[in-house]
Amino acid sequence: MDPLNLQNLSPINPLGDAGRTGTPAPSTPGEASFGDMLKQALQDVNEAQSQSEGEARNLMTGQSADMHSAILAVQKADVSFQMMMAVRSKLIEAYREVMRMPM
């Protein structure tokens, strides 16, 4: 995309009732909500943890001799868990910042 060609940009949707409390605005069909995306990310982390446990168990019991895939699965689970914890910390920090705002 050419940086000077502004005609291909999509318009910005108005905020509307962004400050309103109560029920959240309905999302368009096919669009995942933040909660759904967070839930899916947690399920992915859990799946990576389960897979790494299975790989390690298979390696220790002798069912598998592939040490590389076991180590890779454990590292993948570790990185995904660290990422989840970083996101959790940022969410808590953002929540606390919002709660400190004067109304």
What does the radius of gyration of the chain's CA atoms come to, in whole angstroms?
21
Percentage of the chain surpassing pLDDT 70? 71
Residue 31 has what pLDDT?
78
Sign of the alpha-carbon torsion through 18, 36, 99, 80: negative
Q: Which of 18-27, 50-59, 89-98 has the lowest mean pLDDT?
A: 18-27
Quote the CA–CA distance of 65 and 61 in Å, as a whole number: 10
- Mean pLDDT, residues 51-56 taken together: 92
- Mean pLDDT, residues 46-58 taken together: 93
Q: Indicate whether 80 pLDDT > 60.
A: yes
DSSP state of 27: P
Q: Indicate whether 13 pLDDT > 60.
A: yes
